[in-house]
């Protein structure tokens, strides 16, 4: 029995995702495929365009056997914690043989090399990093330059341009974090990468072949012509969106959180300090921008800078909207997940769940327990917040929804 896993967001699931699923099954010759999926808030710092239950339904319709929700403490975090939480869950299942992920480079070896350097930190690399930081560079920039210099000095098969391009591509960066997480866990899960085709992750325009989720969301936001997306989405994904539009479904937008976070900023100028991402005085900048701004875009533009990446700001503002300040975020991120929340499965997924009961100590939740741990409490709190942006979802939807079963 071979079991592969994919860490996903499917926001929404498009042809590139479908290809990834198909190639994973074919090239790994796996019998089962699991997806660890972000719920109602995603890693880029956005409310999910489609709620987690509808996303999981489409996932199973397109080849996934079992969908497990990634707790929001990890899904709405940096790439490092996003990867860490996902890898911990997969490793704890005790049945996963492969982790399959997309990357721009499409070659596992340079990704593994970089991950090993970052985990082991050879003396020469640490010296280079210290030197770059002494020039006042931001850590991410200094680390990229140090890695490039160290690798090209010690591994001449890789050029400066190759490493520079690799380290500037979003899926490569996330892939490295997956590998670091597996390495730190001393996991037996074997990593496998598939070359990403078509649009870059952040491209806003539709591509002739494989369009990004960003471009698809942008089209839905700016155009009433849904038919243009037919060639960019699997049939089940297109049909779902078509049905949701007919049902007057509200597709949440990040801009809609503005009045709520502005109200919080005006009534409590200390709560934001409790969120780890708001360290280094960033909260003062955010408070002032929220007090003085009249729209999300206006406030966002005053916060954004070379020091603070757009995704970090969006994540922080979503965390503030949800109420992360009321939880011990650092402790939750350091803790191992103790449960899996099942969102959807098919007959093969049901077989997997039976196997997991015998191979894992994780609690399997198909319905909510009476007693909630803080990590699960935060998941439910994120649904409450999401329901404000998406009236199609009730604030207590988690208590009413059972896993979706696809026959």
Q: What is the mean pLDDT of residues 45-70?
A: 98
Token pair for 325: 């300040």
The torsion angle over the Cα atoms of residues 193, 195, 197 and 203, rounded to 10 degrees, is 70
Task: Give residue 270's pLDDT.
Answer: 85
Instruction: Answer yes or no: are the C-beta atoms of 276 and 237 closer than 8 Å.
Output: no
Summarize the confidence of residues 46-66 as an average pLDDT. 98
CA distance 340 to 315: 23
Is 240's pLDDT higher than 70?
yes
Residue 61 lies in a domain: yes
CA distance 40 to 59: 15
Query: Is pLDDT of 204 > 60?
Result: no
Q: What is the pLDDT of residue 309?
A: 84
Q: 309, 320, 192: which is closest to 262 by C-alpha?
A: 320
pLDDT over 80 at 203, yes or no: no
In a domain, 281, yes or no: yes
Contact 66, 89 (CB under 8 A): no
- Taking only the tens place, the pLDDT of each residue in 305-333 is 877 889 999 999 999 999 999 999 999 99
> CA 402 from chain center: how many Å?
23
pLDDT score of 142 more than 90: yes
Beta bridge partners of 32: 3
Q: Is residue 227 part of a domain?
A: yes
State the pLDDT confidence band at 304, using cuts at 50, 70 and 90: confident
In this prediction, residue 104 carries a pLDDT of 96
3-state secondary structure of 267: helix
**95 and 223 share one domain:** yes
Q: Is residue 147 part of a domain?
A: yes
Q: What is the pLDDT of residue 226?
A: 92
Task: Say whether pLDDT at 207 is over 70.
Answer: no
Number of domains in the chain: 3
Are residues 230 and 276 both part of a single domain? no
Res 208: pLDDT: 58
pLDDT of 279:
76
> C-alpha 316: how far from its chain's center?
14
Position 218 scores a pLDDT of: 92
Q: 128 with 147, same domain?
A: yes
pLDDT at residue 198, as a whole number: 63
Closest CA to 379 of 330, 327, 335: 327
Tens digit of each residue's pLDDT (9 = 90 or more) over 329-352: 999 999 999 999 999 999 999 999
Strand partners, 46: 42
pLDDT at 30 over 70: yes
What is the SS3 string spanning 303-325? HCCCCCCHHHHHHHHHHHHHCHH
Domain boundary among 290, 322, 354: 322
Q: Which helix (H) or strand (E) holds 339?
A: strand 339-345
pLDDT at residue 107 is higher than 70 = yes
Please say whether the beta carbons of 279 and 286 come within 8 A.
no
State percent of the chain over pLDDT 90: 87
Residue 142 lies in a domain: yes
CB-based contacts of 109, cutoff 8 Å, min separation 6: none
Domain shared by 95 and 139, yes or no: no
Instruction: Based on the fold, state whether residues 93 and 24 are members of the same structural domain.
Output: yes
Q: Above 70 in pLDDT, residue 128?
A: yes
Looking up tokens 């996902």 gives 86
For residues 191 and 77, state if they share a domain: yes
The span from the CA of 365 to the CA of 117, in Å, is: 38
What is the structure's pLDDT at 200?
Answer: 57
User: Which residues 6+ apart lie within 8 Å of 385 measured at CB?
Assistant: 321, 322, 323
> What's 55's domain CATH number?
3.40.50.620
How many whole angstroms from its chain centre is CA 235? 24
**Host domain of residue 304:** 254-322
Domain match, 85 and 190 both = yes
Asked if residue 44 belongs to a domain, the reply is yes
Q: Does 201 have pLDDT greater than 90? A: no
CB 75 within 8 A of CB 386: no
- Domain-embedded: residue 327: no
Q: Are residues 190 and 243 in the same domain?
A: yes
Q: Which residues contact 276 (CB under 8 A, 6 or more apart)?
A: 329, 330
Displacement of CA 187 from its chain's centroid (Å): 21
Give me the pLDDT at residue 308, please.
Answer: 83
CB burial readout 361-383, b (16+ within 10 A) else e = ebeebeebeeeebebbebbbbbb
Encoding tokens for residue 281? 């005085």
Is residue 71 included in any domain, yes or no? yes
Positive or negative torsion for Cα 288, 290, 291, 293 = positive
Given 168, 186, 208, the domain boundary residue is 168
Q: C-alpha 201: how far from its chain's center?
A: 12
Residue range 192-212: average pLDDT?
Answer: 73
Rounded Cα distance, 149 and 61, in Å: 45
- Torsion angle defined by CA atoms of residues 3, 4, 9 and 15, in that order, rounded to the nearest 10 degrees: -120
Last residue of a domain, one of 300, 322, 344: 322
CB atoms within 10 A of CB 124: 14
Beta strands in 20-59 (DSSP E): 32-38, 41-42, 46-47
Q: What is the pLDDT of residue 407?
A: 85
Residues 236 and 348 in one domain: yes
97 and 30 within one domain: yes
Residue 147's pLDDT is what? Answer: 98
Q: What is the DSSP string of 79-119?
A: HHHHHHHHHHHHHHHS---EEEEEESS--HHHHHHHHHHHH
- Shared domain check, 349 and 221: yes
336 & 378 share domain: yes
């Amino acid at each position: 029995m071979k079991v592969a896993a994919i860490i996903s967001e499917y926001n929404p699931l498009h042809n590139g995702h479908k290809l990834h699923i198909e190639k994973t099954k074919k090239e790994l010759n796996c019998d089962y495929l699991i997806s660890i999926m972000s719920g109602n808030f995603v890693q880029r710092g956005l409310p999910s365009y489609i709620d987690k239950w509808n996303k999981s339904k489409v996932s199973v319709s397109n080849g996934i056997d079992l969908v497990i929700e990634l707790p929001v403490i990890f899904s709405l975090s940096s790439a490092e914690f996003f990867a860490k939480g996902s890898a911990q869950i997969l490793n704890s299942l005790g049945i996963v043989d492969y982790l399959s992920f997309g990357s721009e480079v499409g070659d596992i070896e340079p990704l593994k090399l970089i991950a090993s350097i970052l985990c082991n930190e050879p003396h020469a690399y640490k010296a280079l990093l210290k030197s770059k930081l002494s020039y006042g560079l931001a850590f991410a920039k200094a680390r990229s330059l140090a890695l490039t210099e160290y690798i090209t000095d010690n591994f001449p098969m890789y050029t400066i341009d190759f490493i520079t391009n690799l380290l500037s591509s979003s899926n490569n960066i996330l892939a490295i974090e997956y590998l670091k997480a597996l390495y730190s866990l001393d996991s037996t899960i074997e990593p496998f990468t598939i070359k990403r085709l078509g649009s870059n992750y952040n491209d806003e325009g539709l591509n002739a072949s494989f369009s990004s989720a960003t471009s698809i969301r942008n089209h839905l936001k700016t155009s009433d012509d849904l038919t243009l997306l037919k060639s960019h989405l699997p049939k089940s994904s297109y049909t779902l969106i078509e049905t949701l539009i007919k049902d007057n479904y509200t597709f949440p937008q990040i801009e809609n959180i503005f009045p709520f976070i502005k109200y919080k900023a005006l009534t409590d100028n200390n709560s934001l300090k409790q969120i780890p991402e708001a360290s280094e005085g960033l909260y003062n900048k955010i408070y002032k921008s929220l007090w003085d701004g009249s729209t999300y875009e206006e406030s966002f533009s005053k916060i954004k800078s070379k020091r603070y990446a757009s995704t970090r700001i969006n994540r922080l503002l979503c965390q503030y909207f949800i109420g992360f300040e009321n939880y011990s975020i650092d402790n939750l991120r350091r803790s191992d997940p103790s449960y899996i929340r099942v969102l959807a499965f098919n007959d093969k997924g049901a077989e997997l769940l039976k196997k997991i009961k015998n191979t894992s100590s994780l609690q399997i939740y198909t319905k909510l327990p009476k007693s909630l741990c803080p990590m699960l409490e935060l998941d439910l709190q994120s649904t409450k917040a999401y329901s404000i942006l998406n009236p199609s979802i009730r604030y207590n939807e988690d208590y009413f929804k059972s896993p979706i079963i696809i026959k």
